[in-house]
Amino acid sequence: MQQVLENLTELPSSTGAEEIDLIFLKGIMENPIVKSLAKAHERLEDSKLEAVSDNNLELVNEILEDISPLISVDENVAELVGILKEPHFQGVTFRVENNDLVIARILHGGMIDRQGLLHVGDIIKEVNGHEVGNNPKELQELLKNISGSVTLKILPSYRDTITPQQSYASMERHPAHIRQVFVKCHFDYNPFNDNLIPCKEAGLKFSKGEILQIVNREDPNWWQASHVKEGGSAGLIPSQFLEEKRKAFVRRDWDNSGPFCGTISNKKKKKMMYLTTRNAEFDRHEIQIYEEVAKMPPFQRKTLVLIGAQGVGRRSLKNRFIVLNPARFGTTVPFTSRKPREDEKDGQAYKFVSRSEMEADIKAGKYLEHGEYEGNLYGTKIDSILEVVQTGRTCILDVNPQALKVLRTSEFMPYVVFIAAPELETLRAMHKAVVDAGITTKLLTDSDLKKTVDESARIQRAYNHYFDLIIVNDNLDKAFEKLQTAIEKLRMEPQWVPISWVY
């Protein structure tokens, strides 16, 4: 099409009737309708005129987008739009049941769905007076050869349908409460790579972290959803049930990945890793598919949780926030059973308690995490977090990732940021600069630095579904600026939060 127009433009100049003919021909070729038809022809040529194109629905929608604005100025456009919106251009899924052809699925938002004349479970008996039998391919051929209107004879199902807006996760909690359902995706999905989907072209592609609106969940295996940010029509996605079955027996790559954040290799000094008291045995086999979320107006989070491998700079970022804005940010003071030194005051660097008192509180579940170092207990008390929050400040925590299971609730409403380690060469250069500047005298080996990089990668794989933001700390100043910008956005922009924080 484009080549034809270029050839017309490059023709030598002419006069009289020849010039008028060229102008007329060029005008036809530039007509939007002709362009759209040429576009369709090119797409069919690319697919070598296969019986079913992977993108035929997409093609129809593109043509409709191109020509719909011209409906009011050209009756031919209106006619073409009407043809493209006929039922046989808007996909419906059928199944054979008891030797009948039954409507198995109607895509939400399509022409048939908007008309409300057909329903899932209806039996198709005739099309324009022709019996359809029980072969979907014959029905497809019959519809393809029909021009003009389509008249269907059906046996209606009359069954009650599930309200599309009911929540898949909270129907038991709110059976009578009808509301829109939105989910955050915790995996990438491309329908053209899915061998199970009944119709690839009807699938909806999405990426990890995207928000989808669930509009229909009648099919136990295939839900219908649409993009919240991009909009557009609904498409098929695997249901929670189907995706759980598919992922249930996939080995997690963090199962035997060694120690996590907070461990110290010197076994003589540290006898136990910090543990989350309410979740001492962390469920590492947890399968994350979809998480139901709700949109909230801008608000200040109760806690800011920094997660990362040992030595990636979490404590430096935390201290900088608190020093620069102590009225908005605070942190907890850890408890310990060791005796205070001569220059230490209770409540500054540590709160000192007896070992028996601390053991009793640990047993009672009053600690978020705790551990033992050189024969003394150390830990973060849950009440100390709430004490900071009650002052109107955001409590900044740099804790082990296991603690996220406890913190990610409406009680703490955390904004979880993963501070990722940079590449090994960058980390090596950063450490050398710190040593040369005299900030630290502790010289780390390449083996130590590599452990930090590997540990960072393991934490990200295992806990990625908890993170609201990921920042690679290859420069402390830039990392601080990125974190500060993200925190300010929380006070200015709406936020998607877990549904449990709202209901």
Q: Give the pLDDT confidence of 425-466 residue by residue, as tens digits.
A: 999 998 888 888 877 767 888 899 999 999 999 999 999 999
Q: What sign has the CA pseudo-torsion 217, 222, 224, 228?
A: positive
d(C-alpha 498, C-alpha 503), whole Å: 9
Q: pLDDT grade, residue 55 (50/70/90)?
A: very low
Is 440 strand, coil or helix?
Answer: coil
Structure tokens at 340: 């205070």
pLDDT at 271 over 50: no
Q: 76 — phi, psi (to 5°)? A: -65, -35
Q: Which residues contact 288 (CB under 8 A, 6 or more apart)?
A: 186, 187, 465
Residue type present at position 311: G
d(C-alpha 310, C-alpha 260), whole Å: 9
For 79-114, letters b (16+ CB in 10 Å) and e give ebeeebeebbbbbbbbeeeeeebbbbbbbbbbebbe
pTM of the predicted structure, to 2 decimals = 0.65
Q: What is the pLDDT of residue 370?
A: 93
d(C-alpha 168, C-alpha 163), whole Å: 11
pLDDT at 116 over 70: no
Q: Where in the chain is the domain with CATH 2.30.30.40?
A: 181-247
CATH superfamily of 181-247: SH3 Domains (2.30.30.40)
Q: pLDDT grade, residue 97 (50/70/90)?
A: confident
91-155 classified as CATH 2.10.109.10? no
Structure tokens at 294: 């709700």
Q: What is the pLDDT of residue 131?
A: 79
Q: Which residues contact 200 (CB under 8 A, 6 or more apart)?
A: 54, 191, 192, 194
Mean local confidence (pLDDT), 117-129: 75
pLDDT at 170 over 50: no
Q: Where in the chain is the domain with CATH 3.40.50.300?
A: 270-501
Residue 193: count of CB within 10 angstroms of its CB: 11
Q: Where in the chain is the domain with CATH 2.30.42.10?
A: 91-155
Which range, of 15-24, 87-96, 110-119, 494-503, averages the lowest pLDDT?
15-24
Closest by CA position to 244, among listed 215, 270, 220: 220
| Ranges of H-type helices in 85-193 | 111-115, 136-144
Which range, of 19-28, 62-71, 359-368, averages the lowest pLDDT?
19-28
Contact indicator for 418, 458 with CB cutoff of 8 Å: no
Closest by CA position to 411, among listed 370, 379, 383, 381: 383
d(C-alpha 311, C-alpha 445), whole Å: 13
Q: What CATH number is given for 270-501 in this structure? A: 3.40.50.300
Contact indicator for 384, 332 with CB cutoff of 8 Å: yes
